[in-house]
């Protein structure tokens, strides 16, 4: 498990390594995503949040197949789905596990900070600009919910 969110390095859906140190000074909204879920339309809200508040928060999407196998696709299939159906421009990463024995270290770190693991696809973690504070929002909370927008706008 990383000591800091800024110690994380992960591959994007396109296979390029992303060093999270580049996000220092930015709020981060970290979301586990899935293409075949009742909550999949939240991609539209996440994209709108990215477009409207991109100067205040960086949206990071993490496809995961942990809930009823609702993200069975390959990284290429996921990228195509996101672009074709929702015009996703925010940063998406390669598919990972967000809970269980094979939980990715990023999600272990988020869970250690909040005491919360994702309750379903589209659970959200809002990380402060300095990476020290993390707030959890259940998957039922929409990306543009006032609770999230208010925290981003501060």
Positions annotated as catalytic residues are 37
CA angle 75, 80, 82 (to 5 degrees): 95
- Which residues, 6 or more positions from 60, have their beta carbon under 8 angstroms from its beta carbon? 28, 29, 30, 31, 90, 91, 92, 93
Query: What is the torsion angle, in degrees rounded to the nearest 10, for the CA atoms of residue 55, residue 16, residue 69 and residue 61?
Result: -10
């Amino acid at each position: 498990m990383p000591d800091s969110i800024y110690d994380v390095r992960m591959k994007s859906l396109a296979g390029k390594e992303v060093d999270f140190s580049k996000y220092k000074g930015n709020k981060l909204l970290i979301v586990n995503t899935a293409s075949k879920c009742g909550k999949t339309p939240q991609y539209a809200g996440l994209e709108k949040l990215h477009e409207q508040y991109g100067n205040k928060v960086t949206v990071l999407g993490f496809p995961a197949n942990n809930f009823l196998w609702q993200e069975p696709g390959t990284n290429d299939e996921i990228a195509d789905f996101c672009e074709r159906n929702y015009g996703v421009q925010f940063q998406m990463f390669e598919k990972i596990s967000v809970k269980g024995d094979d939980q990715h270290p990023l999600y272990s770190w988020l869970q250690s900070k909040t005491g919360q693991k994702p309750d379903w696809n589209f659970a959200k973690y809002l990380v402060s600009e300095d990476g020290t504070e993390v707030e959890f929002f259940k998957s039922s909370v929409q990306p543009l919910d006032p609770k999230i927008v208010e925290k981003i706008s501060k």
